[in-house]
Amino acid sequence: MSTPNRRAPRAAGRPLVLGHRGASADAPENTLAAFRLALAQGADGVELDVWRCRTGEVVVVHDEDTGRVAGPRFRVDATPLPELRALDVGAWKGERFRGERIPTLPEVLEALPGAVVNVELKSRGRDLRLAEAVARDVRRAGAEGRVIASSFDYRLVAAFRLAAPEVPVGLLFEPGHRWRLRTALAARLLGAAAVHPDASLVTPARAEAWRARGLAVNAWTVDAPEEVARLTGLGAAALISNLPGRTRAQVRALTGR
């Protein structure tokens, strides 16, 4: 499993800009409206979250239940797709988004041809079949060259590596006393193509060390102009932003690309 992964998606001379759950500052997160708006604003692609619902489909939603974005509270992994699809997950963000539905991963890949898609694997417990389902959907869409799969749960990353060794993986982590050893070991064992740190963890020394090991540095969540400038200067491969339009404009001003 330690065979090096396919190289993570990159742009020449600048970081990629990925809309965090789409253009989530302006549109309801993890919806087709948010993803399309991110691309319209100039993003290179999007970051999204996936679960496997009760009937086995891969659905795009962040939380383990639907209460925050829909009102009615259904646990995603215990609810069949038709019941999830009946929920309105757009109205909370504004009347013009009323009627937005929870999309499936195949629908997103079809709606965003050519866009980079960072798929974050999420599971309540250890649903390793999620990794297999995502691998299947990515292959059917012919999207192997533009997808990167990531997770905080490195068991899911390992399962995805086995299911789709041709698709790059990234390791998500945030501040905590155990991330250094855990992530370094996992990166070696899993042949990770990227690290996905909380932006506050990206220091000059760490950025240099990660790049020296051939790892792309994909930082989240990068909205503040000073952070965009700092991380661009440190050679980040991707900036995951709630404000992809503004972030992309700043990257263009900083790099000329």
Q: Any idea where the domains of the chain sit in the sequence? A: 16-255
Known catalytic residue at 62 = yes
pTM above 0.95, yes or no: yes
Which pLDDT score is estimated for 126?
Answer: 78
Three-state secondary structure call for residue 27: coil
CB of 250 within 8 A of CB of 226? no
Q: Does domain 16-255 have CATH number 3.20.20.190?
A: yes
Among 62, 75, 136, 246, the active-site one is 62
**Residue 36: both structure tokens together:** 């399309």
**14: phi then psi, degrees, rounded to nearest 5:** -165, 160
- Residue 68 is given by DSSP the state H
Residue pointed to by tokens 């001379």? 13
Three-state secondary structure call for residue 42: coil
Question: Count of alpha carbons within 13 Å of 71, Cβ hemisphere only?
Answer: 9
- Kindly list the averaged pLDDT for each block of 10 residues, start to end, along the chain of length 257: 71 98 98 98 98 98 98 97 98 98 98 98 90 98 98 96 97 92 94 98 98 97 98 98 98 98
Which pLDDT score is estimated for 1?
Answer: 53
Among 8, 14, 20, 151, the active-site one is 20
Integer CA distances (angstroms), 182 to 157, 178, 188, 217, in order: 13, 6, 10, 17
Could you tell me which residues are beta bridge partners of residue 117? 46, 147
Known catalytic residue at 196 = no
Integer CA distances (angstroms), 254 to 96, 199, 207, 231, in order: 34, 18, 19, 11
C-alpha angle 19-25-30 in degrees, rounded to nearest 5: 55
